[in-house]
Amino acid sequence: MKAKKTNILYNSNIMKTLYFIHGFATGPSIWQKQIEVFLKDYRVILDQEQIKPNDELYIIGWSMGGWKAIELLFELRQKVSGLILVSAFAKYVQGNDYPYGQPLALLQKLERRFLIDYKLGMHYFYNLIFPDKDQQRIIDALPPPEKKDLLRWFEKLRLEDKREFLPRVNVPTLIIQGDKDPIVTVKSARYLQQSIPGSKLEIFGGVGHAPFLEQPDKFNACLKDFVG
């Protein structure tokens, strides 16, 4: 089932709502293998504007989308029943007080590739995050972003820091991380787990940056168990 233009898919009798947030340089269709499964029993949304007053909301944020998920938790507070962070991070670039991130040089290398040639940059990025080359067909379906948007994304990756928010997360939280992720380190996921009170960490063996695509059945089972 394809996402409608309204970016909302749901059984109108169910108010337990799953809000899926995609990551850098992708789109809502990245969650297709979850939409097909969870639409049977839950309300599924792909756009913040479709959150309703009586929703029992579970926010699922992948990669850079994890930042938005954390921001929404504090913005909506009473609405949120659970937080799921997938291949996410509090801070992307490592520093003297944060050894769990990636070297700045890696991010700069990726930025240069994108700015020189967006499509080539996308192929390089997708080679990192999608071991299954069939997934790379997504590239040609994505409209190239404006240069100003690319610059904004990379600036956020350099500077954004959500560490101060983590101890104040007060809802059940599930962290899912692949142990072969070339984009986000397992140490970064463990930092999230240690910093968010009562959170649970699930590490997927042999999996890279997109566990919901690489092992969708296991991912969906984890998510269903947590939400259910």
Instruction: Tell me the one-letter amino acid at 149.
Output: D
SS (H, E, C) the chain: CCCCCCCEECCCCCCEEEEEECCCCCCHHHHHHHHHHHCCCCEEECCHHHCCCCCEEEEEEECCHHHHHHHHHHHHHHHEEEEEEECCCCECECECCECCCECHHHHHHHHHHHHHCHHHHHHHHHHHHCCCHHHHHHHHHCCCCCHHHHHHHHHHHHHCECHHHHHHCCCCEEEEEECCCCCCCHHHHHHHHHHCCCCEEEEECCCCCCHHHHCHHHHHHHHHHHHC
CATH class of 8-92+163-227: alpha beta
**Is this model's pTM higher than 0.95 or not?**
no
Domain ranges of the chain: 8-92+163-227, 104-153
Cα 202 to Cα 190: distance, rounded to the nearest angstrom: 10
pLDDT tens by residue, the chain, 228 residues: 444 444 555 454 447 999 999 998 788 888 999 999 999 999 999 999 999 988 899 999 999 999 999 999 999 988 999 999 999 999 999 999 999 999 999 999 999 998 898 878 888 888 888 777 666 666 666 667 778 888 899 999 999 999 999 999 999 999 999 999 999 999 999 999 999 999 999 999 999 999 999 999 999 999 999 998
Cα 49 → chain centroid: 18
CB atoms within 10 A of CB 214: 20
